């Protein structure tokens, strides 16, 4: 295959994923990023199905796309209705999109049991819809829904469906693995048969219900498909769609197809993160190519090998897709992990080689107690500095106390009407001067945070800009179970310019919280 066109359906099929909702503004912003990426088609939605998609196509008329064509999606005309009189077809035309994708059944079972129309009527619906839209000057792509399921049961009829669309003027026939249950070997065989039998471009649209959507897409390309559909991050109904980011990377880096430029390929990680934010979905840190952990090395043997030959445990240079190599320290680490991590953090010159073993021992001992430094690199940096004889902490804890009181006023009957009071007392030493502060807070952790800050602000006014942005608690398995288990607290903080994470671990959740909070403020002072 000399060329492959990229078709993104994040703004339509991707929004069918549970938990994903995009505003018109979100969709416009994503469309701009997709255009920068170099995709050929951006499917904006289904006009007429909901007010938001209608609004999007009106707003999208102001978009200045340099690489992509905006596509409107809809269905064929209804049974026993001409395209001219069909509201679905009219909505497609009214969208103003020059390229229209219409979906139609290509499975005998679907026609008989879902549409409940004669097989010939379905062929008419396909043919007349395409002809009518072509007559109006539109470019038409036909999505053959349930094609692989239908082909398995009645290949003759499935081929009749796509032939009807092709003969009517569709520029591309997209074979849809709608249920996501077909395997790559069958995709390859079927697409090979279709591409040999048809003169029109053949596309592929795969769902990920069997976790092979990307593999199926690549198999289709190797069988002759010249058009691939997918979504950013694999968003889509049920288990999602083929992840277009992985498809692009594999086509270019593994199959040598210049579907995007080198500069556009470097945008993959950025677009992964941007779309996650727009969709208000957590980023999958383990996502191939673009996830934060996609090129992370934890095992000591791996880290040692990668330090010598990066290809040892990396299939590509992460910079090609805009990502980074990452070395973490843990109970599985070796001296190489520590050495590489120190180099990454700019601390190599501070720690003599003969101290690497001692530092590694400290890390492993603390992780055995429940600490975990993979996601708390600020605490790791502090651990390194504290291991150096010349390091002096900017403050030291003398002691702290937290009191929580539950009050029910006279006349109150419900527990939710009760007042709770949390108060923390903290004594800290700064340069030999002990500061004793008390503060109330919205819960014990907040009270601790307020009291500690109160005691330090006199000495370190810059801490005024530091704020906690996230607080996570996880029960770990060390020690007794239940309420006596070790808990790990992860705190994320910012000063407006940078972000960092710190950690604490203890059988006492307040103690663990204190450790993470104190580390956060100490790290803020360290990086001044």
pLDDT (tens digit per residue) in 42-52:
999 999 888 88
In the predicted structure, residue 17 carries a pLDDT above the cut 70: yes
Q: Residue 91: helix, strand or coil by DSSP?
A: helix
Question: Which of 102, 106, 156, 158 minimizes the C-alpha distance to 131?
Answer: 102
In the predicted structure, residue 302 carries a pLDDT above the cut 80: no
Task: Name the band, by pLDDT with cuts 50, 70 and 90, for residue 467.
Answer: confident
List of domains in the chain: 5-279 (3.20.20.70), 296-368 (no CATH), 395-408+418-459 (3.30.160)
Give the least confident one: 100-114, 397-411, 435-449.
Answer: 397-411
Task: Name the band, by pLDDT with cuts 50, 70 and 90, for residue 341.
Answer: low
pLDDT of the residue at 475: 79
| Strand 419-430 to 396-407 pairing | antiparallel
pLDDT (tens digit per residue) in 143-161:
999 999 999 999 999 999 9
Place of tokens 């009214």: 94
pLDDT (tens digit per residue) in 260-287:
999 999 999 989 988 987 887 878 888 9
Query: Mean of the pLDDT values across residues 473-491?
Result: 70
pLDDT of the residue at 367: 67
Task: Name the band, by pLDDT with cuts 50, 70 and 90, for residue 104.
Answer: very high
pLDDT (tens digit per residue) in 343-370:
555 555 455 565 666 666 666 667 666 6
Give the least confident one: 6-15, 199-208, 228-237, 332-341.
Answer: 332-341
> Measured between alpha carbons, how far is residue 350 from residues 353, 381, 386 in Å?
10, 11, 11
In the predicted structure, residue 390 carries a pLDDT above the cut 90: no
Token pair for 455: 């005691």
Question: Which of 127, 104, 128, 108 minimizes the C-alpha distance to 116?
Answer: 108
444-457 vs 509-526: helix crossing angle, rounded to 10: 30
Q: Name the percent of the chain lying above pLDDT 90.
A: 49
Token pair for 157: 């009829």
pLDDT of the residue at 50: 85
pLDDT of the residue at 35: 95
DSSP state of 432: T
Query: Mean of the pLDDT values across residues 319-340?
Result: 62
**DSSP string across 6-72:** EEE-TTTTGGGSTT----HHHHHHHHHHHHHHT-SEEEEE-TTT-HHHHHHHHHGGG---SS-EEEE
**Could you tell me if residue 405 is left (phi over 0), alpha (psi between -120 and 50 degrees) or otherwise beta?**
beta
In the predicted structure, residue 77 carries a pLDDT above the cut 90: yes
More confident residue, 294 or 191: 191
Task: List, in order, residues 6 or more apart from 375 with CB less than 8 Å away.
Answer: 490, 501, 503
Choose the most confident range, by mean pLDDT, from 200-209, 355-364, 407-416: 200-209
In the predicted structure, residue 331 carries a pLDDT above the cut 50: no
Give the least confident one: 186-200, 222-236, 461-475.
Answer: 461-475
pLDDT of the residue at 33: 92
pLDDT of the residue at 6: 98
Can you give the pTM of this predicted structure?
0.67
Task: Name the band, by pLDDT with cuts 50, 70 and 90, for residue 127.
Answer: very high
Task: Name the band, by pLDDT with cuts 50, 70 and 90, for residue 431.
Answer: confident
pLDDT of the residue at 346: 56
Token pair for 22: 């995009």
Give the least confident one: 70-74, 357-361, 400-404.
Answer: 357-361
More confident residue, 269 or 488: 269
In the predicted structure, residue 300 carries a pLDDT above the cut 60: no
Task: List, in order, residues 6 or more apart from 97 with CB less than 8 Å away.
Answer: 44, 57, 70, 71, 72, 138
Sign of CA dihedral 179, 184, 186, 188: positive
Q: What is the mean pLDDT of the chain?
A: 85
Task: Name the band, by pLDDT with cuts 50, 70 and 90, for residue 180.
Answer: very high
CA distance 421 to 402: 11
Beta bridge partners of 501: 492
CA distance 256 to 54: 39
CA distance 119 to 111: 7
Give the least confident one: 239-253, 372-386, 483-497.
Answer: 372-386
Query: Mean of the pLDDT values across residues 364-385?
Result: 73
pLDDT of the residue at 231: 97
């Amino acid at each position: 295959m000399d060329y492959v066109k990229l078709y993104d359906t994040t703004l339509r099929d991707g929004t069918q994923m549970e938990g994903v909702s995009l505003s018109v503004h979100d969709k416009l912003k994503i469309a701009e990023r997709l255009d920068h990426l170099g995709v050929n088609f951006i499917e904006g939605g289904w006009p007429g199905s909901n007010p938001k998609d209608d609004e999007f196509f009106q707003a999208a008329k102001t978009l200045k796309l340099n690489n992509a064509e905006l596509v409107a999606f809809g269905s064929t005309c209804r049974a026993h209705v001409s395209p001219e009189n069909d509201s679905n077809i009219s909505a497609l035309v009214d969208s103003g999109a020059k390229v229209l994708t219409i979906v139609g059944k290509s499975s005998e079972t679907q026609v008989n049991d879902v549409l409940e129309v004669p097989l010939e009527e379905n062929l008419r619906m396909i043919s007349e819809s395409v002809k009518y839209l072509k007559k109006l000057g539109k470019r038409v792509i036909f999505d053959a829904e349930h094609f692989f399921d239908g082909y398995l049961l009645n290949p003759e009829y499935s081929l009749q469906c796509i032939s009807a669309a092709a003969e009517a003027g569709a520029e591309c026939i997209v074979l849809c693995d709608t249920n996501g249950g077909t395997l790559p070997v069958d995709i390859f065989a079927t697409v090979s048969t279709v591409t040999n039998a048809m003169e029109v471009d053949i596309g592929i649209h795969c769902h990920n219900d069997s976790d092979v959507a990307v593999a199926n897409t690549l198999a289709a390309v190797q069988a002759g498909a010249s058009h691939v559909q997918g979504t950013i991050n694999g968003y889509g109904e049920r288990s999602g769609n083929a992840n277009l980011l992985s498809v692009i990377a594999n086509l270019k880096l593994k199959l040598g197809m210049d579907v995007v430029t080198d500069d556009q390929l470097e945008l993959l990680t950025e677009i992964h993160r941007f779309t996650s934010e727009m969709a208000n979905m957590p980023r999958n840190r383990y996502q191939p190519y673009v996830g934060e952990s996609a090129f992370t090395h934890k095992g000591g043997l791996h880290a040692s090998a990668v330090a010598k030959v990066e290809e040892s445990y990396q299939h590509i240079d992460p910079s090609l897709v805009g990502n980074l190599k990452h070395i973490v320290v843990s109970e599985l680490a070796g001296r190489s992990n520590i050495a590489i991590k120190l180099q990454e953090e700019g601390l190599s010159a501070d720690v003599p080689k003969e101290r690497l073993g001692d530092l590694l021992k400290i890390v492993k001992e603390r992780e055995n107690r429940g600490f975990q430094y993979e996601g708390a690199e600020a605490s790791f940096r502090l651990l390194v500095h504290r291991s150096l004889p010349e390091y002096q902490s900017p403050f030291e804890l003398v002691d702290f106390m937290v009191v929580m009181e539950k009050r029910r006023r006279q006349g109150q009957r419900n527990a939710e009407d009760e007042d709770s009071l949390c108060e923390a007392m903290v004594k800290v030493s700064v340069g030999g001067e002990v500061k004793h502060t008390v503060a109330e807070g919205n819960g014990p952790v907040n009270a601790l945070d307020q009291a500690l800050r109160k005691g330090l602000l006199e000495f370190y006014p810059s801490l005024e800009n530091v704020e906690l942005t996230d607080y996570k608690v996880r029960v770990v398995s060390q020690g007794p179970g239940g309420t006596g288990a070790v808990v790990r607290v992860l705190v994320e903080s910012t000063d407006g310019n940078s972000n960092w994470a710190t950690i604490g671990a203890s059988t006492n959740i307040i103690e663990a919280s204190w450790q993470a909070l104190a580390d956060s403020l100490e790290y803020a002072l360290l990086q001044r």
